[in-house]
Amino acid sequence: MATNDKYDRQLRLWGAKGQRALGDTCVVLIGGTAAGTETLKNLVLPGIGSFCVIDDVLVSKEDVASNFFVTSTCQEEPTIGKKARAQVACENLQELNPDVLGAFQNVPKLQDIKDWKEILYKETNSRQKLLVIASDLDPLVLETLSAQCSSLQLPLVMVQSYGLMGCVKLQLSGKVPLLDPKPANAPPDLRLKKSFPALDEFVQSIGDLSKLESHEHGHVPYPIVLRKAIEAWRASHGGQDPKTFPEKNEFKDSIKNMSRDIHKEVNFEEAIQHAYLAYTEREVFLPEDLVGGDDSSMLAKLFQALDTFREKHDGRLPLNGAIPDMTASTNHYVKLQSIYKTQAEQDLQEMKDLCQDLPEDAIQSFCANVFSVTQMSTRSLVEELTSQPDEETMDDLKMSLMDPYEVEAHTPLLWYLGLRACHAFFKKQGRYPGMKDDESWEADAPLLEEEYKAVALHYGLADEGLVKSNQGDICHELTRYANAELHNVASVVGGVASQEAVKIITGQYIPLNNTYLFNGIVGVGGLYKF
């Protein structure tokens, strides 16, 4: 053991800021099924502040066989048919991490709850943010909860395991800021098209590159090379940047010509590779809905401050401050690093002055990621069920059926429609298809198929060949499941749901928008926006 921080391996992903965000969060789980307890397990382990399990049933022997956190004894007392599942799950989850506070509420009947607000907030304190997880809830409970989370603007993660099918759906009401989306392959923030005084000064101080001795020449950092090259270009092109494709190539050639031997001077090679940074500038489009209106959300305030900052600095945006590694002498690299860092610190301070009432972590993330910051919101489940998708969404869904999985019947969207049909079936029959415990279970399949057709119509997919040719088999298979709880499917979707919860809580990475369907027959997953 060479470190004593049990969170070491995750801090390397989301850092101290992400960890603080987790610690400030209370996760409320409704429904103590395996999908739910698995989701919560993966949140208790990394250290959320607290959690509360809400449920309305006693432990059954089926729970014990497929849910690791529902045990047949709890504190040396038998639980089956005697203890509330909420309590047993709570105690077994709590035991995973002494840093986390666990609570439970055993309610008489989830279906009878008409007002969720008091229940959801009961075990939280005012400093905490709340995230709600709904696990395998029946449609009656889920739709009420969805509507209320929407009006309370609480993030809701819906997780479901249904035989070999699993589903995770996010419902983000209002505008959820994504302050640190960490896009892959983002270009470095070097501001080489439009420099700033401290950088200009440094570039000047290096003088004429052709006068440097050879080792030094081969270790001039590429941002300096690019600044020199673009200055020279502008001087000979009436102050203009290279615009056309031939001009851009010519600009690259001019860098090549600056090198004494392009095969040996890696710094010039790097400069050519990054030549576009000298004549392109990344832009931030201020979301009109946030800047223009009277929005007082955190993200709106941040963008409003950014607007002010930009005006004051002649269009310049706060600097990130980090520079990538590059071929350079130690002295030049360290100097360059400190120039960017110092400027970024100044910019951050100015932004802090502009939005004094906001949390420091948020301002810092916003400034560091000013080009990638975004917001996300989804439709609620209730909206999805009650109104048809808009044209764009419908087109997207049709498109995804035109690019089916290699075995067409396993295209995840077809199975998502099936799960919706099972919910519709439940609303009519008060049970899931295939629940009869004898040979007659198959009789439900044609009934389910009728629901399937109605669902396909709702999503504008009723005429799709792929739907028509597979709905019979899919409904038969879903009827076979009788909403079976398979631990492995529950654990897959529990993993997905918890990963999404971490992204929402920390504001890092990009959450799924908004539905993931795992087809456990072949192991393929699909992502759809409804």
Partner 1 sequence: MMETEKTPSIEPMDTDSPAPTRGSLLTLMSRPSRFGNDSGALPIGEFEPIAKSSGVTTADLPDSALSQSKILVVGAGGLGCEILKDLAMSGMPNVHVIDLDSIDVTNLNRQFLFRQKDVGSSKAKVAAEFINKRCPWMNVVAHHGKIQDKDPSFYKSFNVIVSGLDNVEARRWLNATVCGLVDIDEDGDPDPSTIIPIIDGGTEGFSGQARVILPRITSCFECSLEAFPPQRSFPLCTIAETPRRPEHCIAYAFILEWPKQFPEKKLDKDSPDDMKWVYEKALERAKKYNIEGVTYMHTMGVVKTIIPAVASTNAIVSAACVGEAVKILTFCSQTLNTYMMYMGSEGVYSHTFVYEKKHDCAVCSTETHKIEMSKEATLNELIQILREGDLRLGAPSMTTSNKTLYMQKPPALEKATRKNLDKPVSSLIDTDEEIVVTDPILQSINLSLAISFQ
- In the region spanning residues 445 to 474, those forming contacts with partner 1, defined by CB under 8 A, are 473
Give the residues across from 165 on adjacent strands.
162, 519
Q: How many Cα atoms sit within 13 Å of 498 on the Cβ side?
A: 22
Backbone angles phi, psi at 41, to 5 degrees: -50, -45
C-alpha 205 chain-centroid distance: 44
Q: Which residue of 369, 498, 506, 507 would you call a contact of partner 1, by CB under 8 A?
A: 498
Q: Which is nearer to partner 1, 4 or 205 (CB)?
A: 4
Q: Does 312 bind partner 1 (CB under 8 A)?
A: no
Q: Which two tokens stand for residue 256?
A: 């090549």
Q: Does 71 bind partner 1 (CB under 8 A)?
A: yes
Question: For the window 321-360, what string marks contact with partner 1 as x by the rule CB under 8 A?
Answer: ----xx-xxx--xx--x-----------------------
Q: Which two tokens stand for residue 227?
A: 């600044």
Q: Does 502 bind partner 1 (CB under 8 A)?
A: yes
Q: Which residue of 251, 279, 481, 530 would you call a contact of partner 1, by CB under 8 A?
A: 481
Q: Which of residues 94-153 bind partner 1 (CB under 8 A)?
A: 96-98
Q: Which of residues 11-30 bind partner 1 (CB under 8 A)?
A: 11-13
Tokens 């298979």 correspond to what residue?
477
Q: Does 374 bind partner 1 (CB under 8 A)?
A: no
Minimum distance from CB of 46 to partner 1 (Å)? 6
Backbone angles phi, psi at 259, to 5 degrees: -80, 150
Q: Which is nearer to partner 1, 105 or 498 (CB)?
A: 498
Q: Does 507 bind partner 1 (CB under 8 A)?
A: no
Question: For the window 189-218, what string marks contact with partner 1 as x by the rule CB under 8 A?
Answer: ------------------------------
DSSP string across 348-388: HHHHHHHSTTS-HHHHHHHHHTTTT-EEE----HHHHHHSP
Contact range with partner 1 by CB under 8 A, out of 108-116, 223-231, 300-308, 480-488? 480-488
Residues 388 and 500: beta-carbon distance below 8 Å:
no
Contact range with partner 1 by CB under 8 A, out of 312-320, 359-367, 391-399, 432-440? 432-440
Contact range with partner 1 by CB under 8 A, out of 244-252, 343-351, 459-467, 511-519? 511-519
Q: Which is nearer to partner 1, 72 or 388 (CB)?
A: 72
Burial pattern 470-499, b for ≥16 Cβ within 10 A else e, equals bbeebbbbbbbbbbbbbbebbbbbbbbbbb
Q: How far apart are CA 397 and CA 455, in angstroms?
A: 13
